Amino acid sequence: MSGDVLQHTDLRQSRRFLETYSPPKINGEFAGKHIISVEQFDRRDLQILFDATGSIRRRIKQQDRGLLELAAGKLMATLFYEASTRTDLSFQAAMRHLGGEVVAASNGVHFSSVYKGENLADTIRAVGCYSDAIVLRHPDVGSSYEAAYYLDQLNKQIARQVIVISGGDGVGEHPTQALLDLFTIFDFKGQIDGLNITLVGDLRHGRTVHSLAKLIARYQAENVVLNLVSPPLLRMPETVVQYATAKGITVRETDDLYDVLPETDVIYWTRIQEERFDDPADYEAIKDRFIMTPPVLAQAPDDAILMHPLPRKHEMGTPDDHDALDADPRAVYFRQMENGMFVRMALLAKVLGGLWV
């Protein structure tokens, strides 16, 4: 080792914490628990969370200032090792609507240079010295597990309970995105049981669709059909498909949207990135079949909903297509985004709740 650069062999591997650290199951009790995986939740936990989300949304619309008591005196830090302005903003707005305070322990893209090579184990504890909850966004799979492990060590020393909430770790999980997606389905369709749900796009690399598929499975919904629509090259990983199938979900894989569109209740649209293809010709051959436009949506049932994790680009056509889609009552992606704040409010209130309130 020389100078200020740690050699690679000295670095802890975040990924190994995936094996050695077990995220705490919620089991109906959220207070003081890290939120780092959808695997922590079962159907009852999700129902508790969604009930709380609905209640919080109602109170926001009624301008109930009692909400400002739910996290008063609590401090949430955002620690983002890569930029994700929307996730950052959604968490910040959630915490502030609960009367809590927020400090930004990072500024996105420039973060790496700021801490000059300090490792995550130390940084997470440093931030933990000042805060009650830390929202962590990190490019390495397993980083939120590592953060949870080291916060557990810190908590013993400082006699407080600092928790970490994953804001996405690399190609791993993004649990709160899955929670808001499932809540949105529940919100518009009234239930999950019996639904025909279609995920479209790059299902191979899309963290969002992996987490959502897993969470639908964890909800143990009955009679759910999950359609997975992607180019052959970009199919859902087999592990996720097996996870869903093992929980009783009927999975159908296809590369033709029109096979499933007419009977779908929920369309979840995502982007396919050209750079995933080694040969540009492969991309050119399939891209037009993965663009949502008004004529495509016309073939969906009248009571279907069209979701998208946003931001969107050409996978919803031109700006004029955007405008036309936005005017369709089936397009719910902006309300889906708004729900993100409500779900995060419910989650923050619950995990922080056992401490001061």
- Which residue, 25 or 334, has its beta carbon nearer to a copy of itself? 334
Q: Which listed residue (57, 74, 137, 214) is catalytic? A: 137
What 8-state DSSP symbol labels residue 309? -
Cα separation, 124 vs 263, in Å, equals 47
Please list the residues that pair with 5 across neighbouring strands: 2
- Active-site residue 322, yes or no? no
- Active-site residue 252, yes or no? no
- Which residue, 39 or 338, has its beta carbon nearer to a copy of itself? 338
Q: Which listed residue (86, 96, 289, 322) is catalytic? A: 86
Q: Which listed residue (87, 184, 198, 264) is catalytic? A: 87
> At closest approach, how far in Å is the CB of 219 from a copy of itself?
25
- Which residue, 38 or 105, has its beta carbon nearer to a copy of itself? 105
- Which residue, 41 or 80, has its beta carbon nearer to a copy of itself? 80
> At closest approach, how far in Å is the CB of 81 from a copy of itself?
12
Phi, psi of 229 (to 5 degrees): -110, 110
> At closest approach, how far in Å is the CB of 11 from a copy of itself?
7
> At closest approach, how far in Å is the CB of 172 from a copy of itself?
21
- Active-site residue 116, yes or no? yes
> At closest approach, how far in Å is the CB of 295 from a copy of itself?
17
What 8-state DSSP symbol labels residue 299? T
Q: Which listed residue (34, 138, 174, 235) is catalytic? A: 174
Q: Which listed residue (8, 116, 156, 313) is catalytic? A: 116
Cα separation, 127 vs 114, in Å, equals 14
Residues 331, 332, 336: CA angle, nearest 5 degrees:
155
- Active-site residue 86, yes or no? yes
Q: Tell me which amino acid residue 220 is.
A: Q
Show Cβ contacts of residue 317 under 8 Å, excluding neighbours closer than 6 positions.
Answer: 291, 292, 293, 325
Q: What is the DSSP string of 86-115?
A: HHHHHHHHHHHHTT-EEEES--GGGHHHHT
User: Is the preceding peptide bond at 311 cis, omega within 30 degrees of 0?
Assistant: yes
- Active-site residue 137, yes or no? yes
Cα separation, 13 vs 9, in Å, equals 9
Cα separation, 153 vs 125, in Å, equals 9
> At closest approach, how far in Å is the CB of 332 from a copy of itself?
9
- Which residue, 27 or 62, has its beta carbon nearer to a copy of itself? 62
- Which residue, 126 or 286, has its beta carbon nearer to a copy of itself? 126
Q: What is the DSSP string of 179-248?
A: HHHHHHHHHHHS-STT-EEEEES-TTT-HHHHHHHHHHHHTT-SS-EEEEE--GGGPPPHHHHHHHHHTT
Active site amino acids:
86-87, 116, 137, 174
